[in-house]
Structure 1
């Protein structure tokens, strides 16, 4: 029986990523040495770093004047690195979920922070609209996809100030106009690679404008000048990221990912909306293409554990919802085939037949 992993992260990755990374761990670049033991300064690994950066630029059509970095610390480290490097007088934040709220709180340690809008009042079930971005802010921070609550910004915003975006869970899932952003960051463990590496895409000319002294390791310019090798980078996740990027390119690039992601999401949301046992938790226009959240309808509440076991018997794993929302969450990242989504839909239909009177 085929098994499908709907985990929100660490999550499913392409089979190519697993296989090629496993080979390199045993024998990297025909050296007879493991990827885990080769020098990050070697020509072999430098080629890996260079290709990963170039694939980022190619697949996302990153304009000149931007740098791509691979760092440690996870997206959570970026919650402080961003204001450390960019916040001089004031920063603006859109509060759309747990991680957006954590980023906002961290920024308050460095200066004035304005919360331009929040959906906390409705348990982050929608994306706020019709807010004003302060024109005197140093930057405007958004979380483009909210993994826990299942909402997503589907368009690139027009902003009077540089936009900083946490794209941990939707990078490479849809086309992005990079020129509308000053900085994009994300942890790799959602849609790119194993946990351990963080990507940063930063417009070079927004740096160096704060008056505070920045610790060397927390200064983006340090890593730009040293090609992400000021200290030893997380070589295995970077190699895995390169393999995932190769896979995306082989499948037709980001446009192709977007097309199939819309098809997968439409298939699952249609079942949620028509099955009498389930209902969605988010505003329809803000539903995420990556993290689909749903619960039991009132007449069938209390059957959550039974459905999770029912689904496991059909090869469907890791669909339990986050405690903040309850119910279920199916993460359908790039590497999740439409067959996996169809298997979940079939399980939902079959389960409904067992309990609907």
Structure 2
């Protein structure tokens, strides 16, 4: 059947799952660049770093006593830093259902070479049985599987009387999903996901329980300087007050501050979450109307509202043509599934993506499917 090519294109065709689309109305010329060329150790630099830290804590509504720090190497750096710093004190339950979580398991088992590891896993599209998590153990998990489009339904599997620490990779969840902070002892994320910021910097959020572990436990292995969160048995408080371990990009910091200001302007994290959920609703409606496309997440309650992963009734070669066709018409860039995931689409629906752009994209998906499946 012949289908006419749609006439309306998304105003912003950037649907990549990282780095993600810049916020609506973004203008690099509007960034506060007063820190450029200045030392990050000077008052002007430390003030800028402290402001993004305090604004992050305020916007996320963190409980009293939680600390926020800027660390090197994106979310990966934040996760590696905390794993190498606190693991080994207790057995650890590693929960994963996609490639990044599997990567944390590989590092814990093959690099740290811990003995007491409980592997709790599931395939793409599913969640594992999280009731297996032992409250006496440390627990590592991703809140939202960026490469599978599967998120946890809730934090009910985490005991309020737990003895171990919960370590959550939340890089594609923070600012897009409600985070039960009292259940999370360590949370990591990066600027380039939900906020559409620039890459290279990680964020680490510590609960008082996590600080206590850092100050009371010394791992048996050596820690490189870039991983060290303590000195003399005490937390290096400067990391959480703007004195970063290494030299940050002050241009990236200004960009992140711009994103935080935007979150504040639209109504805070609740508004950001709603925007993302409304975006998912556009795709949900489209999937419900077409049999040839489906969510990779098997259960509706576990469907990500940021990294939305979809399976398509096309061969791998047809799928390549499908994605190429949309890119050539400049209606959707970088929407192919992650390299280690099942073949399909991955469309970012975080709050920096406009609902109107997703609505404009849907007819193009149908058109492209008809073109390659003719």
TM-score by length of 2: 0.83
* TM-aligned CA deviation for residue 40 of structure 1: 0.7
- Write out per-residue CA displacement over residues 293-320 of structure 1, whole angstroms, 9 at most, x where no aligned residue: 123226x775323322442315221112
Give the corresponding residue for 1:205: 212
Counterpart mapping for 1:131-142 below 5 A: 131-137=131-137, 139-142=138-141
* TM-aligned CA deviation for residue 327 of structure 1: 1.9
The one of 241, 245, 258 aligned to 2:260: 245
Mapped contact 2:78–2:203 kept (Cα < 8 A): no
Give the corresponding residue for 1:55: 55
* TM-aligned CA deviation for residue 173 of structure 1: 0.6
> Higher mean Cα deviation, 126-135 or 334-343?
126-135
The one of 225, 239, 242 aligned to 2:238: 225
Counterpart mapping for 1:42-191 below 5 A: 42-87=42-87, 88-108=89-109, 109=112, 111-119=114-122, 122=123, 124-137=124-137, 139-157=138-156, 158-159=158-159, 160=162, 161-191=164-194
Mapped contact 2:17–2:307 kept (Cα < 8 A): yes
For residues 14 and 320 of structure 2, what CA distance do their matches in structure 1 show? 17
For residues 257 and 154 of structure 1, what CA distance do their matches in structure 2 show? 19
Closer, same or farther: CA 81–112 of 1 in aligned 2, 3 Å: farther
> What CA RMSD, in Å, does the superposition of the two structures yield over aligned residues?
2.4
* TM-aligned CA deviation for residue 240 of structure 1: 1.5
* TM-aligned CA deviation for residue 8 of structure 1: 1.2
Unaligned runs of 5+ in 2: 1-8
- Write out per-residue CA displacement over residues 309-337 of structure 1, whole angstroms, 9 at most, x where no aligned residue: 44231522111222322121111222001
Mapped contact 1:70–1:238 kept (Cα < 8 A): no
Which SS does the other structure have where 1:115 is aligned?
Answer: strand
The one of 292, 312, 318 aligned to 2:308: 292
* TM-aligned CA deviation for residue 198 of structure 1: 0.3
Mapped contact 2:14–2:21 kept (Cα < 8 A): yes
> Higher mean Cα deviation, 162-171 or 317-326?
317-326
* TM-aligned CA deviation for residue 228 of structure 1: 4.2
Aligned length: 343
Which SS does the other structure have where 1:293 is aligned?
Answer: strand
Closer, same or farther: CA 48–349 of 1 in aligned 2, 3 Å: same
Which SS does the other structure have where 2:133 is aligned?
Answer: coil
Which SS does the other structure have where 1:240 is aligned?
Answer: helix
Which SS does the other structure have where 1:303 is aligned?
Answer: helix
For residues 81 and 355 of structure 1, what CA distance do their matches in structure 2 show? 46
For residues 113 and 244 of structure 1, what CA distance do their matches in structure 2 show? 41
Which SS does the other structure have where 2:17 is aligned?
Answer: coil
Q: Which has the higher contact order (CA 8 A, sep 6+)?
A: 2
For residues 247 and 20 of structure 1, what CA distance do their matches in structure 2 show? 15
For residues 102 and 320 of structure 1, what CA distance do their matches in structure 2 show? 21
Give the corresponding residue for 2:363: 346
For residues 82 and 10 of structure 1, what CA distance do their matches in structure 2 show? 23
* TM-aligned CA deviation for residue 262 of structure 1: 1.2
- Write out per-residue CA displacement over residues 2-38 of structure 1, whole angstroms, 9 at most, x where no aligned residue: 33101111121214554256x44xxx23xxxxx4421
Counterpart mapping for 1:246-265 below 5 A: 246-265=261-280
For residues 342 and 198 of structure 1, what CA distance do their matches in structure 2 show? 32
The one of 191, 194, 210 aligned to 2:198: 194
Unaligned runs of 5+ in 1: 30-34
For residues 239 and 66 of structure 1, what CA distance do their matches in structure 2 show? 23
> Higher mean Cα deviation, 341-350 or 165-174?
341-350
Give the corresponding residue for 1:32: none
Mapped contact 1:78–1:185 kept (Cα < 8 A): yes
